[in-house]
Structure formats: C-alpha cells, structure tokens
Amino acid sequence: MSTHRLILCLISLIVSTPLFAQTKVACIGNSVTYGYGIENRETNSYPAQLQQLLGSEYEVQNFGKSGSTLLRKGHRPYNEQEEYQAALQYKPDIAVIHLGLNDTDPRNWPDYQENFIPDYLQLIQDIKASNPKVRVLICRLSPITDKHSRFKSGTRDWYWQIQQHIEQIAATQKLQLIDLQEVLYNRPELLPDAIHPNAQGASLIAKRVYSSITGDFGGLTLPITFSDHMVLQRDMPLTLSGTANKGTKIAIEIAGKKAKTTTPDNGKWTLTLPALPAGGPYTLEVKADKETKSFQNVMVGEGWLCSGQSNMAWKLQQSKGGKEA
C-alpha cells in the first residue's frame, strides 16, 4: 500500500471515530413520549427537543409507545412492546421513565392496581440489568385535564392514586423524581385533546427533563412576590423559597437572622428564618454561591390577603366621606 493511500485511510479512520463517548439517554414512555399528535414529531417530540438542549455530548433515543401501560396485565403492557426490548438493548446511561397515564383506563386500574408498584420496580430492575451503572429518573405524570372523556368517571381519582405510587417508588428506591405534572398543570391550552401536549408543551417537558439531568435550573430564581418595599409577616417563622442549580449553596440574611442550605436534585430550595418582631426597614439578602440578590426597605409587619368581587376594587375615597377619612 502506498504512503499516500495509507495517510488517506488514517484520516478517514480519525474522522469516522467519535472524539468522545456520548452519554446515551433512553426516553421510555407512552404516547406523550412518542409525540402523538405533534406536527413534525421527529423534531418536535420532547425527546427530540431534549436532544437539542443536551447537545452533542448526549445521544437521546425515543422509546415511546402509544397506548402502552406500566401494568403488565394492562391492555397494552409496555414490557411486551418492541420499544421495550429496543430500550434494553440500547443499554442506556440515563433512563427517563414516564409511564402510568394509560393505566388510568378502566380496563386497567380497577383490576390490577395492586400490581403497579411491583411492575414498576420490575421495569427499573430490567433497565439496571441491561446496564448496572444506569441512572434512572422517574416522572410524575403529565396532566390529564377535565376535558378528558373519562375524567369524572374515574380517571381523575385513579390519576392521583398513580401519582402517589410513583412518589412512593422514588422515595423508597432513592430515585430522582421529575415533576411533569407541575410543568403543564397551569397550561391546559397546551394539551389540545386534554392529555397530549403540543410542540410547545413538549418543549416545557424537554426543558424540565434537561434540568433534571444536568442540574441546570437557570441559576437563582425567586418568586415574583420578592421585591423592594415588601412586607414580611411579623411574629411567625419566615419560610422563603426559590430555585437554583443543583448543589448551589443558598444563604439568606435579614435583620441579623441567617439560614443556609444546599439546593437538591429538583432545583427547589426552602429556608426558614426565626420569627421577627414588627420593624424595619431592613435589607434582605439572598446569596447563591457567587450570585447575590438584595431587596431594600423590607418591613416586618402585617400581611393581609384580600379577595372578592367589585367591592374589593372600591376605593375609600369613592365612598361618602371617604376623602375626609
């Protein structure tokens, strides 16, 4: 073989060989994972959008099967589908499981609900058998809205029972829990048929899964109620919360009172400060590693939440003698 041809072969080999091993992500689920009803599913399903977010260091595969159940005696058990076998053969480094929506079907939950936890544990065991080092994340179910045809006949109550089982599995097995119900609960317009998200809804799911995998929750974020000139309730422990990237050290200080914590896997932190007497103005300082947010002229006193109809919008000065008052 000539030197020229040998050099070409070596160049071809170098170009065709990955510079690094990609982390393999298996998205295991039903039609929500598959992307049912989404236009251009191949690019707009949540796994496809997750691939874009994670970038080239990851390889994301969609193993969603429409209509599949977690229950092995359900009407379409996931473990009997080709997608299940393909997911195991893939030997993922990370497995994201979102199953349980179809188990709310009356053909499934009333008769086989006692099998849900054992069947879920078996699925996890099967995935770990394919790769003992796999990182498994399980999902709270994405919403089913009241527009669903079976919502009032049983699906609503069974849905919440399944959510509790999933939370129990995450707690007992020490698995990371991804809350997909929270992501879409206030966005029913993104569920056109009351259960399947559109492309925008799939984008929100992808972002939550991305954050759960990477620990990147967008840095320090505080509720919109945090502002200069705010009033905190006096004579009661002050519970303050927000979000930050996983592992971020959070420290809060006001009026000489301090508290600190470390942000967990879900990005949500909560701190409680001792009760303060009425007073101020104070500076409330929230530190997240090198990031700091300060709020000025914060008072401690009485906080009242008032609600009602048009009478709540009625101003005192509009009343008889109001201007004098």
Beta strands 279-288 and 291-301: pairing type?
antiparallel
Q: How many CB atoms lie within 10 A of CB 48?
A: 20
Say whether pLDDT at 90 is over 90: yes
**Residue 187, beta-bridge partner list:** none
pLDDT band for position 322 (cuts 50, 70, 90): confident
The whole-number average pLDDT for the span 256-275 is 96
**HSE (CB half, 13 Å, CA atoms) of 291?**
12
Please give the pLDDT value at position 98: 98
Burial group, residue 98, by CB count within 10 angstroms (0-12, 13-18, 19+): buried
> Sorting pLDDT into bands at 50, 70 and 90, what band is 315?
confident
Q: 273-309: per-residue pLDDT in tens?
A: 999 999 999 999 999 998 999 999 999 999 888 888 8
Structure pTM?
0.87
Mean pLDDT, to the nearest integer, of 264-271?
Answer: 96
As a whole number of angstroms, the distance between CA 254 and CA 286 comes to 9
Query: How much is the pLDDT for 304?
Result: 85
Taking the CB of residue 236, how many other CB atoms lie within 10 A of it? 12
pLDDT digits (tens, 9 = 90+) for 215-252: 999 999 999 999 999 999 999 999 999 999 999 999 99
Domains, the chain, in order of start with CATH, read: 19-214 (3.40.50.1110), 231-301 (2.60.40.10)
- Tracing tokens 């009602």 back to the chain, one arrives at 308
Q: Is 211 helix (H, G, I), strand (E, B) or coil?
A: helix
pLDDT in tens, 28-82: 999 999 999 999 999 999 999 999 999 999 999 999 999 999 999 999 999 999 9
Mean pLDDT of the chain: 93
